[in-house]
């Protein structure tokens, strides 16, 4: 088989942008209200409705949202938060920002999500929060996780950075745990460049996070400056600068309106990949969806059967890049990063399932703006590499 080669580079995670977003941003720029204002309020209202949550708060990143969530739940020095090692480092970093200790529980080898049985093993008198990550958009086993949390009187904060469209047993992700956090980073299914959303059904948590999201002030900027009379405000807590701008929300409003339509296209591309790669024995494919759940299909990742190949995962990714196919690694386990190794003494083989996946995972281009030809170019490149480097 001749080596395939695209003429142009296929960008991994390129956002889908329409004329509606551009027009809305121009309208916002002309309005003079660039900060947190009416467009953000509109976006929050629409997202709360979409997520089936009572409250939604726009923030400038999912990382900021996770930090606010943990603070609202009173996480601090001496506390422990249980999470997965197979995630982006920000999930664990925010635990440290609160002065607490991250405790990792290994993942399930089939779903790649945190294993509830492993969570149960890690609970101590210091545990305060369970922080599951819906990896790649696949919902975690929330029934089991919520049951564990209730038995041990723990809070649940869901990292749904990948999971805007996800549904678990007919319940929308965003309406199950105590607090859920979404990402609108440029590569996400809903993209605003940078940004995020926090949802909750608790008025107390919602109000606390809103105050903390803008310097700890008693009135946010929109309420302070858009009224016709002066309104005094006070700093009621030393908060943060985590608010979402109206420029970002102008994009988000239309990204959200289009997200389900885009999901259908992503699902079609996903199924094309699955059908093509089933006949490639050097690859392991994502598990099927559980009954009554909906995978957000944010990332399509394969695992390389390294025992059948003469190439490492990193070299495989490099070869794809040379063939003009963008790809990514989601993720290298957090406990093996330098800071976590040196600070907490983590070593290889401590979380074998996460490490197995982390050594083999390759994320392939998946997006509503991709053409069928793009998907077939990816299939051709991956299949050729697997055949060329098989043992």
Among 39, 128, 172, 188, which one carries the catalytic annotation?
A: 188
Q: What does DSSP say about strands 127-131 and 55-59: parallel, antiparallel, or unpaired? A: unpaired
The answer to whether 172 and 147 have CB atoms below 8 angstroms apart is: no
Indicate the helix (H) or strand (E) that contains 37.
none
Query: Phi and psi for 113 in degrees, rounded to 5?
Result: -95, 165
- Please give the Cα distance from 44 to 124 (Å, whole number): 36
Helices (H), ranges, the chain: 19-31, 38-51, 62-72, 89-97, 116-122, 142-152, 203-212, 221-225, 246-277, 313-322, 338-344, 352-360, 372-388
Give the Å distances, CA to CA, from 334 to 104, 338, 347: 9, 9, 11
Is 204 among the residues known to form the active site? Answer: no
Do residues 160 and 173 lie in contact, with contact meaning Cβ atoms separated by under 8 Å?
yes
Return the active site residues.
Answer: 188
């Amino acid at each position: 088989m001749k080596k395939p080669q695209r003429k142009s580079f296929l960008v991994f995670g390129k956002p889908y942008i329409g004329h509606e977003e551009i027009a809305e941003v121009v309208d916002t720029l002309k309005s003079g209200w660039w900060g947190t204002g009416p467009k953000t309020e509109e976006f929050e209202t629409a997202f709360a409705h979409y997520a089936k949550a009572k409250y939604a708060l726009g923030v400038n990143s999912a990382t900021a949202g996770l930090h606010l969530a943990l603070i609202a739940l009173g996480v601090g020095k001496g506390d422990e938060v249980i999470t997965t090692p197979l995630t982006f480092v920000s999930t664990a970093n925010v635990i440290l920002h609160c002065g607490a200790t991250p405790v990792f529980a290994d993942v399930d080898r089939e779903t790649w999500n945190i294993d509830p049985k492993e969570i149960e093993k890690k609970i101590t008198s210091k545990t305060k929060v369970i922080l599951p990550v819906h990896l790649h958009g696949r919902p975690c086993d929330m029934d089991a996780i919520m049951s564990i949390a209730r038995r041990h009187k723990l809070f649940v904060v869901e990292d749904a950075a990948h999971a805007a469209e996800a549904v678990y047993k007919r319940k929308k992700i965003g309406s199950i745990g105590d607090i859920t956090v979404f990402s609108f980073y440029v590569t996400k299914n809903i993209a605003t460049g940078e940004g995020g959303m926090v949802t909750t059904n608790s008025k107390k948590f919602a109000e606390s996070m809103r105050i903390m999201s803008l310097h700890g002030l008693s009135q946010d900027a929109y309420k302070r400056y858009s009224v016709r009379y002066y309104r005094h405000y006070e700093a009621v807590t030393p908060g943060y600068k985590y608010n979402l701008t109206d420029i970002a929300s102008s994009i988000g409003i239309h990204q959200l309106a289009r997200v389900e339509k885009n999901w259908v296209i992503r699902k079609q591309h996903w199924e094309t990949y699955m059908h093509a790669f089933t006949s490639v024995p050097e690859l392991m494919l994502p598990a099927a969806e559980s009954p009554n759940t909906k995978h957000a299909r944010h990332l399509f990742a394969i695992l390389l059967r390294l025992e059948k190949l003469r190439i490492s995962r990193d070299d495989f990714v490099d070869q794809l890049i040379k063939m003009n196919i963008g790809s990514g690694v989601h993720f290298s386990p957090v406990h093996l990063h330098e800071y976590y190794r040196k600070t907490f003494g983590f070593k290889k083989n401590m979380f074998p399932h996460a490490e197995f996946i982390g050594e083999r995972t390759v994320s392939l281009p998946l997006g509503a703006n991709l053409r069928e030809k793009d998907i077939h170019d990816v299939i051709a490149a991956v299949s050729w590499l697997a055949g060329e480097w098989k043992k």
